[in-house]
Amino acid sequence: MSIERMSAEELLGVDKFNVDEGEAHIVVKCECCLECSDKPCLYICPAQCYKLLDGKLAFDYVGCLECGTCRLACRQLGNSGVATWTYPRGTFGVSYRCG
């Protein structure tokens, strides 16, 4: 018996999201990102919620996997007051349906 491996894209495709349109669980005030030269968030987010648009950082919490990686990688998130990281309110956010 062999077990078929799924790609990361296939695994992400079966996740279900209940997006909280009324309250973002991660807030990035992108003006502070102008000072951030390395921008690790662009490389470490598995859901690619962080993007560069016209040279400026853009963030969208839709599709966030709640992994917490950006909270660890970004000096502004979670402890500075200029950006916030938390989990979505109850019943909102990602549901993992495979694994």
Residue with tokens 């950082």: 57
CB neighbour class for 62 (10 Å; exposed up to 12, middle 13-18, buried from 19):
exposed
Which residue from 2, 12, 13, 64 is in contact with ligand SF4, where contact means CB under 6 A? 64
Residue ranges in 5-24 that form contacts with ligand SF4 under rule CB under 6 A? none
Q: Does residue 49 touch ligand SF4 according to CB under 6 A?
A: yes
Does 68 sit near ligand SF4 (CB under 6 A)? yes
User: Which of 19, 39, 86, 92 is close enough to bind ligand SF4 by CB under 6 A?
Assistant: 39
